[in-house]
Amino acid sequence: MNLVFATHNKNKALEIQALMPAGITIQTLEDIGCFEDIPETADTFAGNAELKAKYVAQKYHVACFSDDSGLEVEALNMQPGVYSARYAGENKDDEANLQKVLMELKNYTNRNAQFRTVICLVKDDQTHFFEGIVKGSIRFEKAGTGGFGYDPIFEPEGNSITFAEMSREEKNKQSHRARAFAKMIEFIKE
């Protein structure tokens, strides 16, 4: 079975393909000839995921899923949230976003944060949602070179290293995205 992942992010597609059972092939937007930047105009993760998945499913007549994810920091009133990718500006600069969070947290002792993912799957004219959360804390400085986004400053609960210091396999075992996708995969298997 082919499933289209409504993303242009090859890193995310690789992470998800590694989680999929045999027989399910993940295609990206480029794989189906979609080079549009689908607007994320909703104010929730679920709303943005649904906008993208429905747009692709309806326009290209494919089973499609989309996710929207972000970092939610307690001391920053759960920001950057849905604005995680463009927190420091519309150019979606990972380093600038990460530095802005570190700067805004410099006078806070509460470093509690979580990553949240919501997936919307549109298949056979049905819409389904799956959520994954991983709690942790924000480091005072970057550590690690793996992953992407806020991974170098996020230390998941029960760990002494950041997501960026983990191998892809280690991160996949506990990430917010992995948790949400595990729920979607279970649903697909049924």
Q: Are 40 and 82 in contact (CB under 8 A)?
A: yes
CA distance 58 to 152: 37
Longest Cα pair distance anywhere in the chain, in angstroms?
Answer: 50
Which of left, alpha, beta for 11 (phi over 0: left; psi -120 to 50: alpha)? alpha
CA distance 151 to 167: 12
- Active-site amino acid positions: 68
